[in-house]
Amino acid sequence: MKDLATSAPVAATRGLARLEALAPVLVLLIAGVCLPLFGDSYLGVIGTRACIYWVLVSGLNLVVGFAGQIAIGWVALLTLGAYVTSVLTAGAVAPELSPYLALAIAGLFGAIFGVIVGLPALRLRTFYFAMTTLGFATIVTQVALAWKSVTGGGVGVPGPIFPWPFASPWGFYFFCLGLALLCTWMTANIAASRFGRALVAIRDAEVAAEAVGISKPGLLVKVFLFSGAVAGVAGGLFASLQSYITPDAFTFDLSILFFIAILIGGRGSILGPLLGTIILTALPEFAAPLVAWSTFLYAVLLLIIVLAMPGGIAEVLDFKNRRPLERHREIRPRPELLGTLSNPDTSPAVLTLKGVSLSFGGVRAIDDLTLEIRAGEVHGLIGPNGSGKTTTLNVISGYYAPQQGQVFLRGKPLRPRAPHTRAAQGIARTFQTPRLIGAASVLENVMIGGSKDGRSTFVESLVALSRHRRDEAMLAQAAMTALSVVGLEQLAFARSDRLQHGELRFVEIARALMLRPSFLLLDEPAAGLSVEEIKRLGDLILTISRQGTGVLLVEHHADLIFDICDRVTVLNLGKVLASGTPAEIRAHREVVNAYLGG
């Protein structure tokens, strides 16, 4: 039976999440509807431009703000969408098409080329990926200049004209506002879904994201498809607003505007980049004498934001995380609640390393290691620093490929270099240094551990269909239960970067429990804990193992190892020095001399 005490907080957080997701939509709706009341047609043009820019930035925000990819040249997709829409409505390559159909085709082209531009991100990092996007922007501009028979070259091509009721300036404004509202709603849905949490996990804790079964390539391809599609649509709208487009309309300044709007708005936010886009769109219009200095002003504004409020506008608006936390907090796990989580596969299982060797340069990190971890047992792995303990966990987890030997689960070899596959095979782990998303709440960090259990597709989450809503309710309930197991349910809604070090250790365990693992790898979980917390941690680990989970415990606290382990293996210089029961290891002369002392 589920712990009923978790139901109210989960319902509360779902209500709060819905309210936060709707905030950008409400802000844009209120501002957009009120703008025509001023009756100023010039303001209408500025508002239309801001809506068009936001259509593009809303998708780019998932790439830059959530996934952390430095995509500076996204103006290329705006250019592509503008030319596709204009060429198709002008009948330059085929019979004239309806502007609406041409806009849809521009979105399709944007999606295709969004993936093409984004593919290097699967291999290239940071500024190298930024350079590829800028290179693509240059290519698109040069093609537009050279392909005169279609694009008009430097002379340009007329933009599409939308029929009634969107033919008038205010009619077109409301059309763009409607699309901007739709994009805001969709990106807010993704941000509040397992896909949005997975993007942030890739950005801030990629190793941990892989450990819970998140596949970076598959997720980024979906995001590039969506972001490219809305950028293509934004291009078609931009062409209509400009009336006539030439390659000169798509400047580097425009690309910088899109990128900086996200940075000053705040990473991992929807409302912040929305406000950033509105500010950067309106600023040059109301400071016309400084328009030639726009790039310089953007740079100064970005510098001010970085120095004065590194979290951007979103951090200024984040009032709920300014409330002080209770100071003298205790971690009191409740292992008896483990039964409320779905139990792992309790059939007899063994995780085996056979003759595994791995070298880094001339250093032999693991040397012919054979190790067996059984379900329902706690297996301790100890040894001096540099003996190969964490390297062993990384080999099991798939981060390292052994040069000799193999890892077997239930008699079948595990594929090396595929850490994202381990979660589905029932292997979970924690890390020597906690790998959490500081800007996310404790509950969201734990919910990331259940990403593989979600059944809704990206499109279903995009439009918030019923299966998406069921997924979110299920993951929130399970995460709250996991936090109750480790004794941290009272901190569920606090930002993780506000927690103490010991609390972060238990949050990682809660995230690992979301996988309902058959095998749990713990890398120094007692580091930084008090004596009483270590005792409670030991009781929790014992209860986890007695539920049928095999635990491999890497630890320097000898008392914890000898109190709870069924078997202990001692490593020294990558080799097995001794293996046996705790009593046998305590009495082993070489172990005492090399590691335990005495």
Strands (E) across 204-349 are located at 244-245
Q: What is the pLDDT of residue 3?
A: 46
Q: Read off the pLDDT of residues 112-170 as tens digits, 9 standing for 90 and up.
A: 999 999 888 777 767 788 888 888 888 998 998 888 888 888 888 998 999 988 989 99
Using alpha carbons, select from 136, 23, 111, 129 the residue that is nearest to residue 68.
129
Q: Read off the pLDDT of residues 100-114 as tens digits, 9 standing for 90 and up.
A: 999 999 999 999 999
Q: What is the pLDDT of residue 252?
A: 83
Tell me which H or E stretch contains 227. helix 216-242
Q: What is the pLDDT of residue 156?
A: 84
The encoded tokens of residue 430 equal 């924690």
Residue 4 confidence (pLDDT) above 60: no
Cα 477 to Cα 479: distance, rounded to the nearest angstrom = 6
Residue 267 confidence (pLDDT) above 90: no
Q: Read off the pLDDT of residues 436-449 as tens digits, 9 standing for 90 and up.
A: 998 899 999 999 99
Cα 364 to Cα 403: distance, rounded to the nearest angstrom = 11
User: Where is average pLDDT lowest: 85-99, 505-519, 569-583?
Assistant: 85-99
User: How many residues appear in the chain?
Assistant: 598
User: Where is average pLDDT lowest: 51-55, 197-201, 344-348, 484-488?
Assistant: 344-348
Q: Are strands 575-580 and 404-409 parallel, antiparallel or unpaired?
A: unpaired
CB 153 within 8 A of CB 87: no
Residue 2 confidence (pLDDT) above 60: no
User: Where is average pLDDT lowest: 113-122, 209-218, 389-398, 506-515?
Assistant: 113-122
pLDDT band at 17 (very low <50, low <70, confident <90, very high): low
More reliable by pLDDT, 308 or 598: 308
Q: What is the pLDDT of residue 187?
A: 96
The domain spans of the chain are 43-313, 346-426+519-527+555-598
Cα 70 to Cα 48: distance, rounded to the nearest angstrom = 27
Using alpha carbons, select from 78, 74, 67 the residue that is nearest to residue 133.
74
Residue 62 confidence (pLDDT) above 70: yes
Cα 464 to Cα 451: distance, rounded to the nearest angstrom = 17
Q: What is the pLDDT of residue 149?
A: 85
CB 523 within 8 A of CB 432: yes
CB 228 within 8 A of CB 110: yes
Residue 598 confidence (pLDDT) above 80: no
Residue 306 confidence (pLDDT) above 80: no
Q: What is the pLDDT of residue 120?
A: 85
Q: What is the pLDDT of residue 164?
A: 87
Q: What is the pLDDT of residue 16?
A: 60
Residue 5 confidence (pLDDT) above 70: no
Residue 13 confidence (pLDDT) above 90: no
Q: What is the pLDDT of residue 42?
A: 84
Please, which contacts does 374-377 make with residues 24 or more away whose CB atoms are closer than 8 Å?
374/349, 374/350, 374/550, 375/346, 375/347, 375/348, 375/349, 375/350, 375/518, 375/519, 375/548, 375/549, 375/550, 376/346, 376/545, 376/546, 376/548, 376/549, 376/550, 377/545, 377/550, 377/551, 377/566, 377/567
User: Where is average pLDDT lowest: 91-105, 155-169, 317-331?
Assistant: 317-331
Residue 408 confidence (pLDDT) above 90: yes
Q: What is the pLDDT of residue 359?
A: 93
Question: Which phi and psi angles does 510 have, rounded to 5°?
Answer: -60, -40
% of the chain beyond a pLDDT of 90: 61
Class of domain 346-426+519-527+555-598: alpha beta
Q: What is the pLDDT of residue 596?
A: 65
Q: What is the pLDDT of residue 346?
A: 59
CA-to-CA separations, 330 to 188, 463, 483, 487, 579, in angstroms, rounded: 35, 41, 14, 8, 36
Average pLDDT of the chain to the nearest whole number: 89
CATH for the stretch 43-313: 1.10.3470
